[in-house]
Structure 1
Amino acid sequence: MSESGEGILPALQAKVLSEALPYMQRYDRQTVVVKYGGHAMGDPALGETFARDIVMLKQSGVRPIVVHGGGPQIQSLLKRLNIESQFAHGLRITDQETVNVVEMVLAGSINKQIVAMINRFGGKACGISGKDANLMTARKLQRTVRDPESQIEKLVDLGFVGEPETVNPHIVDVITESDLIPVVAPLGVARDGLTYNINADTFAGALAGAMKAKRLLLLTDVPGVLDAKGELVTSLTTGQARDMIADGTITGGMIPKIETCMAAVEAGVEGVVIINGKVPHAVLLELFTAHGAGTLIKAETGQPEKTERE
């Protein structure tokens, strides 16, 4: 290779770093909550890339907070322990035996694996759950179903499935103000001391809202929100998102994600982004490049839309 050819890659790397500077400055000392889950958690290579990116955020002056899920890992352990999941009207019930496994996996094995990965690449991660210092108090999640024959709404007892009641982010503030990176398992504690499993997206949204985060990133297994033609929508206002739910463009499992996004924005998060966690360096692409990597959801502003991330 010629001497000039050898210099191409370093020059390109320098150019990329230089172009990232204004975005690094935008997020300096800003809180970014990242919900880590989906198939990316089961891919060792993607896991290492994610850990390196979180360390880079911290080194760049960002205050990253990782909230993780663990559904597939929980189901795997339940199967190994011969614990069968119970359902009522199609909804999964989390009994006492199951929630014990959930806590073991979320606050134990998965949490510490993520902590170890971040530490391996030079970070200083600290694993906690929503139970620590009463970070997240929970109440029992209420769900109703309509009986197809009588058309009467019936309350379904989902067991130890909860939703956020209050958020006290003091412990996370203390950690992020230091050189540590908090890694948080989505468990909550009720006022009577019972442990509740909280959906990781919901948990991350409530935490981001309480901390008035600059960004909440929801890493998923899809590129983001798709329009009626199947093309990626790069940005939405909360009003546009509601319209897409109403007209049937947004359906299925994407609806609760969008509802989480809207609730977080209304609670004070500047912007929420749904991105594909299977894309290497998705977090850095979203935060440190002009056009981002997924669907950005923000509040109504009355200003013309722009293509670049704001």
Structure 2
Amino acid sequence: MGTGLTVVKCGGTAEVQAEAVCAGVARLVREKRPVVLVHGGSAMVTELAGRLGVPLGELVSPDGTVSRRTDPATLEVVTLALAGKAKPALLMALARLGVPAVGLTGLDAGLLRARRKTALRAVVDGRTVVVRDDRSGRLSSVATPLLHALLAEGTVPVLSPPALAEDGLPVNVNADRVASAVAGAMGAERLVLFTGAPGVLADSSDPGSLHAEYRVREGRDPAVGGGMTVKLTAAREALEAGVGDVRIADGRFARTVADALDGHGGTRITAAQSHTAQRR
């Protein structure tokens, strides 16, 4: 089933037009091209946390990478926002387009397994501290049989965090890296990470500075900041897993979505050095 598979990540920022992404997914389905849709929901998480009075925080690692602070209350909000609001909105949009889809989290049938990060190093007020109560994790495996079965029936899986940790409890995992792991595990031909920007920019304040191609390396690129850092990490992991075409693309317009799904536009991510492709 892996032949021709596209894994699409619909970014969760307010700038990304989920309707446009769903329209692109619908076109792939009409063309009999299998597709898995992975999503986040950062804007909805922020909005719901505000309504519930749950303060949100961030962790800044010593290398400058920024991630969501996931204490138990935040994990509840993330789960509610993704499974209860972001996912139903995508499913309804796909239904309006005539696409049969099933909403899943990583907890369903143990689809996503992760190792909980029991000790995180973070920089607070210039000092490096260790955070031990965070409920975030690092993906360790993707169970693909259910996804393959749904695709074989002509159904689009719509997948999001959380994942299941070793202790049997949920943990938050990054949705870009979920999309990358799914693409690698299923032998996808293409991974497209849709975001609220044209792609990878040489200057984040200049939309015209788009990299048509970006060679990703291990470690953090100091010229790239914000949420793009983890997208590049996810892209590199997908390349190392054997995914042939990996793109970070503009999810704000129907035209840019269509171009990226056809293998054009956005930023094509390539490896800085050759890796031996290892398909799982």
TM-score normalised according to structure 2 size: 0.83
For the pair 1:256 / 2:233, whether they are aligned, the reply is no
Partner of 2:268: 296
1:158 Cα deviation (Å)?
A: 5.4
Unmatched 5+ stretches in structure 2: 61-65, 275-280
1:227 Cα deviation (Å)?
A: 3.2
Equivalent position to 1:54, from 25, 30, 35: 25
Partners of 2:72 and 2:273 in 1: CA distance: 46
Does 1 or 2 have the higher relative contact order (CA < 8 Å, sep 6+)?
A: 2
Partners of 2:55 and 2:202 in 1: CA distance: 38
**2:43 is paired with a residue of what secondary structure?**
helix
Q: Which has the larger radius of gyration?
A: 1
Partners of 1:84 and 1:300 in 2: CA distance: 39
**Structure 2 matches for 1:1-310, cutoff 5 A?**
29-37=3-11, 38-41=13-16, 46-86=17-57, 92-141=68-117, 142-145=119-122, 154-157=129-132, 159-227=134-202, 231-236=209-214, 240-242=215-217, 248-288=222-262, 292-299=264-271
Q: Which stretch of structure 1 is more off in the superposition, 256-265 or 153-162? A: 153-162
Which structure carries more helix by proportion?
A: 1
Partners of 1:147 and 1:39 in 2: CA distance: 28
What percent of counterpart residues are identical?
A: 31
Say how many residue pairs are matched: 263
* Contact 1:29–1:62 under 8 Å retained in 2: no
**2:247 is paired with a residue of what secondary structure?**
strand
Could you tell me which amino acid in structure 1 is paired with residue 134 of structure 2? G
Report the CA distance shift for 1:295/1:113 in structure 2 as closer, same or farther (over 3 A). Answer: same
Partners of 1:56 and 1:224 in 2: CA distance: 22
Could you tell me which amino acid in structure 2 is paired with residue 155 of structure 1? V
* Contact 1:93–1:158 under 8 Å retained in 2: no
Report the CA distance shift for 1:179/1:146 in structure 2 as closer, same or farther (over 3 A). Answer: closer
**2:167 is paired with a residue of what secondary structure?**
coil
Q: Deviations over 1:172-212 (max 9, x none)?
A: 11111111011111210112211111111111111111112
* Contact 1:220–1:277 under 8 Å retained in 2: yes
Q: Deviations over 1:40-75 (max 9, x none)?
A: 45xxxx433322221110111211111111111111
Report the CA distance shift for 1:159/1:33 in structure 2 as closer, same or farther (over 3 A). Answer: same
1:220 Cα deviation (Å)?
A: 0.6
Q: Which stretch of structure 1 is more off in the superposition, 136-145 or 268-277? A: 136-145
Partners of 2:220 and 2:71 in 1: CA distance: 32
TM-score normalised according to structure 1 size: 0.76
Unmatched 5+ stretches in structure 1: 1-27, 303-310
1:116 Cα deviation (Å)?
A: 1.2
